[in-house]
Amino acid sequence: MIKKINLAEKFSMFDEYWSPKIVAELNGQQIKLARLKGEFVWHQHENEDEMFMVIEGILTIKLPGEDLILNSGEMVVIPAGVEHMPVADEEVCIMMFEPLSTLNTGNLQGDERTHENLEWL
């Protein structure tokens, strides 16, 4: 059964921050949605590039030496090994595209923000 995925509908199903939800899987990758608000934590992913796309709101991605400001309809790929910290002054809804192996806190595996078994929507 092939079903379409409506982003607005999926976002309406949860309201926690920093807790990515899986909406699709393909070619060993997952498409995840998350609501962010506040500061996350500096981290990196040793083996995975990570894509952030803003669906609604404004997201700052802090990188060593610069801040990237992403508005709705903008995305960025953070290459493996690059430290970054997402920051959202106001609530932001994002979509991510990541390998199955990706942990949200990357190298900080035991962090209080780490989510190991993500929920499917």
Which positions touch a copy of itself (CB under 8 A)? 2-8, 24-27, 29, 31, 48-51, 55, 63, 68-70, 73-79, 82, 97-99
Please tell me the distance from the alpha carbon of residue 22 to that of residue 48, in angstroms, as a whole number. 17
- Our CB check for a copy of itself shows the closer of 24 and 110 to be 24
As to burial, measured by CB atoms within 10 angstroms (0-12 exposed, 13-18 middle, 19+ buried), residue 36 is: buried
Q: Tokens representing 64?
A: 């060593």
Tell me how far, at minimum, the Cβ of 112 lies from a copy of itself, in Å.
27
As measured in angstroms, the least distance from the Cβ of 9 to a copy of itself is 9
Which of 59, 44, 48, 32 lies closest to 117 in space, CA to CA? 32
Tell the smallest beta-carbon distance from residue 80 to a copy of itself (Å). 8
Residue whose tokens read 């059964």: 1
| Choice between 31 and 105, CB closer to a copy of itself | 31
* Nearest to a copy of itself of 63, 108 (CB atom): 63
